[in-house]
């Protein structure tokens, strides 16, 4: 009489193969998650820059962060205070944080001439490093008004 089923050796081989596959796949999934966070952060920074520029162009001045964009900013580098009520119509600085509440970028507005300066903050998180690399072309002073704008 012949029995149908798997031997112990066959089951061990299957478990070993599944273990090898898991060892290869898990780091790839973690890297994909980090890449997604970086892409989301870069998109948020680009959106905030566009929103703030459009607001300044339409109104001739900056305003409270919450009135100009829905992107979340904070007023301190440690990420403790939401900047929704921070008025950029002056020379204030707000910070864009990564998902671990580490400041990756600073946005500084100069209302007199309509400049918005984006600068990197020195942080060691992988997400901040990736975000800084992804938006390095945006890390300049953007002019939305003033006498140096040419038509």
Residue 107 lies in a domain: yes
Task: Report angle CA 103, 118, 95 to the nearest 5 degrees.
Answer: 30
Choice among 17-21, 92-96, 140-144 with the minimum mean pLDDT: 140-144
Q: Please, are residues 75 and 81 in contact by the beta-carbon 8 Å criterion?
A: yes
Residue 76 lies in a domain: yes
Number of domains in the chain: 1
Residue 150 lies in a domain: no
User: Tens of pLDDT along 81-127?
Assistant: 788 888 887 777 888 887 767 788 888 888 777 888 888 887 767 88
Q: Pairing between strand 103-110 and 115-120?
A: antiparallel
Residue 1 lies in a domain: no
pLDDT band, residue 147 (cuts 50/70/90): low
Q: Is 58 helix (H, G, I), strand (E, B) or coil?
A: helix
Which two structure tokens, joined as six digits, stand for 78? 């440690």
Query: Across all residues in the chain, what is the average pLDDT?
Result: 82
Query: How far is Cα 50 from Cα 116, in angstroms, rounded to an integer?
Result: 11
Range of the domain at 126: 8-143
Indicate the angle between helix axes 126-134 and 8-59, nearest 10 degrees: 50
Residue 148 lies in a domain: no
- Strand-pairing partners, residue 108, are 93, 117
Residue 147, burial from CB neighbour count under 10 angstroms (0-12, 13-18, 19+) = exposed
Q: What is the pLDDT of residue 138?
A: 73
Query: How far is Cα 64 from Cα 123, in angstroms, rounded to an integer?
Result: 26
Task: Report angle CA 145, 147, 151 to the nearest 5 degrees.
Answer: 75
Percent of residues, the chain, with pLDDT higher than 90? 10
Q: Please, are residues 148 and 113 in contact by the beta-carbon 8 Å criterion?
A: yes
pLDDT at 151 over 50: no
């Amino acid at each position: 009489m012949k029995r149908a089923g798997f031997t112990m050796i066959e089951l061990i081989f299957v478990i070993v193969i599944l273990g090898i596959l898991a060892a290869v796949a898990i780091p790839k999934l973690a890297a994909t998650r980090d890449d997604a966070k970086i892409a989301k952060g870069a998109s948020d920074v680009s959106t905030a820059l566009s929103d703030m520029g459009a607001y300044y162009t339409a109104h001739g001045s900056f305003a409270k962060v919450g009135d100009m964009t829905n992107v979340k900013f904070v007023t301190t580098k440690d990420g403790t205070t939401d900047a929704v009520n921070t008025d950029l119509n002056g020379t204030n600085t707000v910070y864009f944080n990564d998902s671990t509440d580490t400041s990756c970028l600073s946005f500084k507005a100069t209302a007199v001439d309509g400049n918005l300066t984006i600068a990197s903050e020195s942080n060691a998180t992988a997400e901040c490093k990736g975000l800084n690399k992804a938006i390095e072309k945006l890390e300049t002073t953007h002019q939305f008004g003033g006498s140096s704008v040419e038509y």
